[in-house]
Structure 1
Amino acid sequence: MRSFASLTQLTVFVRIAESGSLSAAARALSLTPSAVSKSLAQLEERLGVLLIKRTTRNLTLTESGRAILEKANDLLTDLEATFDTARSIQGRVEGRLRVTCSLAFGCSQLTPWIARYIDGNPHVEVDVALDDHCVNLAEGSYDIALRITAGTDWGYAARKLSVIRWVYCASPEYISRHDAVSTPEDLSNHQCLVYPDMTPRGAWTFRRDKEIHQVTVKPKLTANSSLALREAALLGHGVACLPTYLVSSDILRRQLVQVVPEYRSAIEHVLYAMYYKSKYANYLVRDFIDFIAECYGDLPPWDLALQSTS
């Protein structure tokens, strides 16, 4: 009798391939590493081919492994679509969703929209992990990571949600106590609150149309948290470069004021929803990403509010 690979073995193989390690796959699937290793060995024995080359440091897919991974993803996607049909007949979205994102974005923009999503889908439970480190999706069995980045050197599938823009701002009290800021160059004489990723080589870069200004700044405070820099700016300690998703409401309430508003930061980031390809087969994952994409869009609500007052 011909021996067939089981769906469980294919699922384990896909997770190993995606996460890059047996231990990470085991954590994601709530299995022991030995059970994951045994499942992979059984699958390779049944297929009669080596799928993954294993060393003490890494795992590498063989040519057969890459071919099987593509087919297995398609099969699991079709299977999940079949389950989705049954769910759609019931007319409801259900299940548990695990999402991770940065602390600042999660507190200021994600939580209210998740609350709205839950209100519209009472059979859904959402677990949110806020972490400023780039969490490995496999480490905590996360379904989706919302990440703000300027690069594309990550190993996940991703959907672009929105452009993240940055502004230079300070409190009215700080502005009243210091020299006026008429040009970007004036900031070289001001107290600056610096976020390292926005200050390459110790300079802030401004753009107006095709005009670029690069100004070396003197950090009064350097922090890798935009929440900390926002607080320092509100307390009148200097000029900060902060994302509009975090400070748009402060600017609208006049608690912060944009400096040289005719210029914008030449550095832009993008908000992505990152996920494993196999996870996108899950209807709940797709539905939530579609929901968030519609909420944010090319011009997200926080930027739309600022634009309407300019």
Structure 2
Amino acid sequence: MFDAMQHFVQVVETGSFSLAAKRLNKNASSVARQIDKLEQELGTELFSRTTRRLDLTLHGQSFYQQSLDILNSVDETRQSFKALTPNIEGQVSISSLDSYGDKKIIPLLPLFQKKYPNSKIVVSLDNTMIDLHESPFDLTVRYGRPADSNFIVKPLIRSRGILVASPSYLKQHPAITQPEDLKQHNCLALFKNKQHTYWQFQKADQIKKLRIEAILSACGGSAVIKWAKQDLGITLNARWFVEQELATGELVEVLPDWQASISGHEEALVYLMWKATNARRPVVRAMIDFLAENLAEVT
């Protein structure tokens, strides 16, 4: 019954047999058979099944809580008999903003794998907002604190905007002394599906919001920065994303007296997010601690 409990908890937490099967690395039909067998053994239905969703019955809700208690107890017992440094093994999956993931997370992961050679890491760099309740990912990195209070969050970095262009582009085009001057320039922007792009600028009590008509747009920051380095125009991005280009002089700040922002806020926080149930797995807990230790600039 212990294995069946594990299958049952995964189905409840993912909301489907197919997603539970992915986490368990099994076929969905095998997971469904385990649940059927469990219901037969208990003599009651645990799920109220419809064509679109799975809902727990009253007995299912009770059994879920008892299963969590038992599994947690077994896990705690197992951990108590391990060495002080546990054997970190298994797969951990991370979904991140493409720009932050590319610049900050990807370079670190070989260090984690070297530290924990029995670990396996899956990474997705995608700006699409994911639901940790539905997706197979253990961790996600996104802008802004989630509305769902069931998620645990760790702030990583304050993301202040900066307007940049290559020195060559600026030499070949009219001077920029006010935000309104950008209307005479080629702008490179992050793509927003079915939404207009606005850049906001603030200096003291002055606030100016400009609608940008970009000549080139991309869903992630990497492409936009490459275009800027190719002298194609001006772009607004996170300061942490262009630190290297600013240091080498490939890009320079435009309108340094104005605080630039895409979100309308002076600065936005990037968060690491996870569910408490995911963090019970040692490899996920190790990755959370590793990323927090190496990336967190916000206390």
Q: TM-score, structure 1 length as denominator?
A: 0.80
Matched residues, number: 292
* AA in 2 matched with 1:277: A
Out of 226, 251, 254, the position equivalent to 2:246 is 251
Q: Which SS does the other structure have where 1:264 is aligned? A: strand
SS of aligned partner of 1:205: strand
One-letter amino acid matched to 1:196: F
Of residues 24, 39, 59 in structure 2, which corresponds to 1:44? 39
Q: Is the Cα contact below 8 Å between 2:142 and 2:272 reproduced in 1?
A: no
Residue of structure 1 equivalent to 2:177 = 182
What residue in structure 1 maps to residue 25 of structure 2? 30
**How far apart are 1:136 and its partner, in Å?**
6.7
Q: CA shift at 1:237, angstroms?
A: 0.8
Deviation at 1:110?
0.9
- Which position in structure 2 is the counterpart of 1:303? none
Give 3-state SS (helix, strand or coil) of 1:204's partner. Answer: strand
**Match of residue 264 from structure 1:** 260
Tell me the equivalent position of 1:288: 287
Match of 1:172 in 2: 167
Q: d(CA) in 2 for partners of 1:40 and 1:209?
A: 62
Contact map agreement 2:236 2:260 (CA 8 A) in 1: no
Give a deviation string over 1:223-279, Cα, whole Å, max 9, x none: 112111110011111111223332111112221112223403135554333444332
User: What TM-score comes out, normalization by structure 2 length?
Assistant: 0.83
Which residue of the partner structure matches residue 218 of structure 2?
Answer: 223
Gaps of at least 5 residues in structure 1 are 1-5, 301-310
Q: Which residue of 2 aligns with 1:126?
A: 120
**Paired residue for 1:61?**
56
Deviation string, structure 1 residues 195-240 (Cα, Å, up to 9, x no partner) = 1249953321234566532111121111112111110011111111
Distance 1:290 1:151, change over 3 A: closer
Match of 2:140 in 1: 146
| Of 76, 83, 90, the match for 1:81 | 76
Deviations 1:72-109 (A, max 9, x none): 334333332333333334x3442133323344333321
Say what the alpha-carbon RMSD is for the aligned residues.
Answer: 3.1
CA–CA distance in structure 1, aligned partners of residues 192 and 292 of structure 2: 25
Residues 173 and 62 of structure 1: CA distance in aligned 2, closer, same or farther (over 3 Å): farther
2: CA distance, partners of 1:253 / 1:287: 35
Question: What amino acid sits opposite 2:119 in the alignment?
Answer: E
Query: Distance in 1 between the 2:20 and 2:78 partners?
Result: 23
- Separation (CA, whole Å) in 2 of partners of 1:98 and 1:186: 47
1:160 to 150, 154, 157: 154
Question: 1: distance between equivalents of 2:146 and 2:192?
Answer: 15
Would the aligned equivalents of 1:194 and 1:241 in 2 still touch at CA under 8 Å?
yes
Q: Is the 8 A contact 1:93 1:123 kept in 2?
A: no
Q: Which of 129-138 and 24-33 deviates more?
A: 129-138
Deviation at 1:9? 1.4
The answer for the alignment partner of 1:203 in structure 2 is 198
Q: Kindly provide the CA deviation profile for residues 10-43 of structure 1, in whole angstroms up to 9, marking residues without a partner as x.
A: 2111111122211221222122222211222233
Q: CA 1:122/1:13 → structure 2, altered by over 3 Å: closer, same or farther?
A: closer
Distance 1:77 1:212 in 2: 53
Higher helix fraction (1 or 2): 1
